[in-house]
Chains A and B, each alone.
Chain A
Amino acid sequence: MTYRCLLQMVLLLCFSTTALSMNYSLLRFQQRRSVVVCQKLLRQLPSTPQHCLEVRMDFQVPEEMKQAQQFRKEDAVLVIYEMLQQIFSILTRDFSSTGWSETIIEDLLVELQGQMDHLEPIQKEIMQKKNFTMGDMTVLHLKKYYFNLGQYLKSMEYNSCAWTVVRVQMLMNFSFLKSLTGYLHD
């Protein structure tokens, strides 16, 4: 009788320890689901007029986004969080000229905020461990890129042409986010 209990106890201990260490797998699932939802929502927005996309803009897209790169999972978390924050920030601006559905944009904002909520405790943990001093160049490059997007929208007075271009950029961002979630392993 005691042996049987012991076996069950050992099994339970084994599984509980493995459960604790697999902190990132839930995050990965949530992230992936969230990115897919966001992509679907973005695609629902009409992409007009087409001629706006013909103009080539240089937003100084970070090299990390253009070329595949290895990320440690902590860096991946920071980069993902920064991107979610910046996309959120852009979508809170004035899109009335586009005629886009407010519901869709609000759904996008909800999704982005929900994901940031999930990431925050892990973000804080990483920051405390690293004694982070914002020396990470990737995040700086990302800020520069999103700043350029914001300034572009502003300079074009938030017209629908500018938003069309920005929408394409955001679709590209979500593709990159999806690939980043692959680094959230244990």
Chain B
Amino acid sequence: MVQSVKRKQGWHLLQCLGKVFSWRASLSWVLEGLGGEANLKPENVEIHIIDDNFFLKWNSSSESVRNVTFSADYQILGTDNWKKLPGCQNTTSTNCNFSSVELKNVFEKIELRIRAEEGNNTSIWYEVEPFVPFLEAQIGPPDVHLEAEDKAIILSISPPGTEDSIMWATDRLNFRYSVVIWKNSSSLEERTETVFPEDKIYKLSPEITYCLKVKAELPLQSRVGYYSPVYCINTTERHNVPSPENIQINADNQVFVLKWDYPYENTTFRAQWLRAFFKKIPGKHSGKWKQILNCENVTTTRCVFPRNAFPSGIYYVRVQASNGNGTSFWSEEKKFYIEMKTVIFPPVISLKSITDDSLHVSVGASEESENTSVNQLYPLIYEVIFWENTSNAERKVLEKRTEFTFLDLKPLTVYCVKARALIENDRRNKSSSFSDTVCEKTKPGDTSKTWLKAGICTALFSIPVVIYVVRLFLRCVNYVFFPSSKPPSSVDEYFSDQPLKNLLLSTSEEQTERCFIIENASIITEIEETNEIDEVHKKYNSQTSQDSGNYSNEDENSGSKISEEFLQQDSV
């Protein structure tokens, strides 16, 4: 059963193959009829670019060796202008070098096509996937020149490609070089370093053969090149004048202090500086090193030079020693940063007590910083140190705001604050010096309640006082501007006995006052008598007048009253 199935399958397979072959035969016959040899088509076409060298490689589909040539065209993607690819015209081999193509630039996409030819027959075009030469290119080996010292090797590396290279024209200065170095005697000992085009490899031993190889990289494009061939060189014998070591540079107020180590006395030194960007430029910069003026022919292992001799930037410094025996090689180059422009002035703090448990802090810029407008250049953040005056426990807070409050404090306590400004997120942790310390006392406790009570009491107390004062004032006003028409009380008393009418009407009558002159008793009686007589007369008069008729009036009545009084008095 199985065998029969297998036989059937085999038969089907043979049938299929037969059909295919016959199809192929017929196709080739058809094409032959058309005049083309389809099986001459190039296959697996590949492009290899190393620096400015362009290679095209392919396989020929033809098995037998025939008189077949290949030709290629190229064009810039988008245009419709196929041009002949130089170096790849009518070639019998399966590769060609078209480096002589004059591309306007290597950053545009290029299309390639290639076909096979035999006599008058041409195959169809094989079109290569469009590509950007710059992205396809591989980094070739750099050119290396070596020079030996006793403990170092000087490298002079030229970038890959020629100086007129089109491929690396935009990246010549961006290459970084990776060096692998080992002692020729033992291939195990290897050291890898990344160097600039003009650089040195230090910490080597004298009189030893070192071998190295270099490759170029474009680290920011993650591209690595091919290694150069291996170069070997012998380091020289130990120099009788050693080089200074352990160079250090410290900033101190307005000066820089350059220090180094040297084992021997009686030596003069000189120091040189170089702006760091020269390191990126290939080519010798020996002429670009400049002498540090205060560090020429110094006999101590330190020298001091002013800060403003160097505008801000990045520098390299090297030191050389010389004595009677000769001059040493240059020391290791030390890189150092000068950031003169970022002088941060200390802030100005003001402290205010608002309530009994909080203090308000105001951070301001000092006058000097206003002029330099550092705040506009860098975002500042403030490191605030805060403590109770009596205790030493300090609290450190980082604040970005310039107005903030410390809460939960004790009332009637003195707190002190000082702050310094920092550049936000600065790797170098650059900061200003601390501001002056400012202290302030918090307000007394429950001040609000006290004020409330005091206020209420004051209000209560003040109301009657106010009323009294107002009344007094009004009275004064009334007295001055609106005098009352009431006569004084003494006058008033007198005039209550005699009404006003009598005064007016009795002008004809004599008004007599009652006067008492006390001398002695006898006289009194006499006077009284005379008065009495008068009164009697008056009485009679009044009576008669009364009797006479309507002549009586109040005056008479009063007079009668008076006389009655007298009579009464006499009787007493």
Secondary structure class of chain A's binding surface, majority of residues: helix
Interface extent on A, as a size class? 35 or more
Whether the Cβ atoms of B134 and A140 lie closer than 8 Å is: yes
- How distant is the Cα of A26 from the Cα of B276 in the complex, in angstroms? 23
Chain B residues with CB below 8 A from A106, complex form: 275
Whether the Cβ atoms of B173 and A147 lie closer than 8 Å is: no
Interface string of B105-140 (1 = CB under 8 A from A): 111100000000000000000000000101100000
- How distant is the Cα of A25 from the Cα of B423 in the complex, in angstroms? 11
Listed stretches A67-75, A82-90, A166-174, A176-184; interface member:
A82-90
Whether the Cβ atoms of B425 and A22 lie closer than 8 Å is: yes
Expressed in whole angstroms, the minimum distance between the Cβ of A144 and any Cβ of chain B is 4
Q: Residue A123 at the B interface, CB < 8 A?
A: yes
Whether the Cβ atoms of B277 and A150 lie closer than 8 Å is: no
- How distant is the Cα of A132 from the Cα of B135 in the complex, in angstroms? 12
- How distant is the Cα of A150 from the Cα of B426 in the complex, in angstroms? 36
Whether the Cβ atoms of A19 and B425 lie closer than 8 Å is: yes
Whether the Cβ atoms of A110 and B105 lie closer than 8 Å is: no
Chain B residues with CB below 8 A from A175, complex form: none
Expressed in whole angstroms, the minimum distance between the Cβ of B221 and any Cβ of chain A is 5
- How distant is the Cα of A148 from the Cα of B396 in the complex, in angstroms? 56
Whether the Cβ atoms of A110 and B277 lie closer than 8 Å is: yes
Contact flag A109-B378 (CB < 8 Å), given A22-B424, A147-B105: no
Instruction: Determine the residue in chain B with the shortest Cβ distance to A128.
Output: B222
Listed stretches B8-16, B52-60, B198-206, B397-405; interface member:
B397-405
Q: Residue A157 at the B interface, CB < 8 A?
A: no
Please report which residues of chain B, range 206-230, place their CB below 8 angstroms from some CB of chain A when the two chains form the complex: 219-223
Contact flag A113-B314 (CB < 8 Å), given A25-B379, A143-B170, A147-B107: yes
Whether the Cβ atoms of B170 and A15 lie closer than 8 Å is: no
Whether the Cβ atoms of B400 and A85 lie closer than 8 Å is: no
Chain A residues with CB below 8 A from B221, complex form: 132, 134
Whether the Cβ atoms of A15 and B398 lie closer than 8 Å is: yes
Chain B residues with CB below 8 A from A134, complex form: 135, 221-223
Whether the Cβ atoms of A127 and B220 lie closer than 8 Å is: yes
Chain A residues with CB below 8 A from B378, complex form: 26, 29-30
Instruction: Determine the residue in chain A with the shortest Cβ distance to B174.
Output: A85
Please report which residues of chain B, range 80-99, place their CB below 8 angstroms from some CB of chain A when the two chains form the complex: none
Contact flag A114-B314 (CB < 8 Å), given A26-B379, A133-B222: yes
- How distant is the Cα of A7 from the Cα of B404 in the complex, in angstroms? 14
Q: Residue B311 at the A interface, CB < 8 A?
A: yes
Partner of B398, one of A12, A112, A123, A141: A12
Q: Residue A33 at the B interface, CB < 8 A?
A: yes
Instruction: Determine the residue in chain B with the shortest Cβ distance to A92.
Output: B281
Expressed in whole angstroms, the minimum distance between the Cβ of A137 and any Cβ of chain B is 10
Most buried by B among A3, A112, A117: A117
Q: A-B contact count, CB below 8 Å?
A: 108
Count of chain B residues with Cβ under 8 Å from any Cβ of A? 43
Q: Residue A50 at the B interface, CB < 8 A?
A: no
Whether the Cβ atoms of B379 and A29 lie closer than 8 Å is: yes
Whether the Cβ atoms of B107 and A143 lie closer than 8 Å is: yes
Q: Residue B25 at the A interface, CB < 8 A?
A: no
Whether the Cβ atoms of A12 and B134 lie closer than 8 Å is: no
Please report which residues of chain A, range 1-35, place their CB below 8 angstroms from some CB of chain B when the two chains form the complex: 3-4, 7-8, 11-12, 15-16, 18-20, 22-23, 25-26, 29-30, 33
Q: Residue A81 at the B interface, CB < 8 A?
A: yes
- How distant is the Cα of A26 from the Cα of B378 in the complex, in angstroms? 6
Q: Residue B443 at the A interface, CB < 8 A?
A: no
Whether the Cβ atoms of B169 and A8 lie closer than 8 Å is: no
Instruction: Determine the residue in chain B with the shortest Cβ distance to A110.
Output: B313
Partner of A89, one of B135, B173, B220: B173
Instruction: Determine the residue in chain B with the shortest Cβ distance to A33.
Output: B377
Q: Residue B172 at the A interface, CB < 8 A?
A: yes
Partner of A7, one of B219, B223, B407: B407
Please report which residues of chain B, range 336-385, place their CB below 8 angstroms from some CB of chain A when the two chains form the complex: 377-379, 381
Whether the Cβ atoms of A15 and B399 lie closer than 8 Å is: yes
Whether the Cβ atoms of B424 and A19 lie closer than 8 Å is: yes
Please report which residues of chain A, range 115-169, place their CB below 8 angstroms from some CB of chain B when the two chains form the complex: 117, 123-124, 127, 132-135, 140-141, 143-144, 146-148, 150-151
Instruction: Determine the residue in chain A with the shortest Cβ distance to B279.
Output: A113
Chain A residues with CB below 8 A from B107, complex form: 140-141, 143-144, 147
Contacts A107-B311, A151-B169 aside, 13 further interface pairs with beta carbons under 8 A come to: A19-B424, A19-B425, A22-B379, A30-B378, A88-B277, A110-B275, A110-B312, A110-B314, A134-B135, A134-B221, A147-B106, A147-B107, A150-B170
B interface vs A, CB < 8 Å?
105-108, 132, 134-135, 166, 169-170, 172-174, 219-223, 275-277, 280-281, 311-314, 377-379, 381, 395-400, 407-408, 423-426
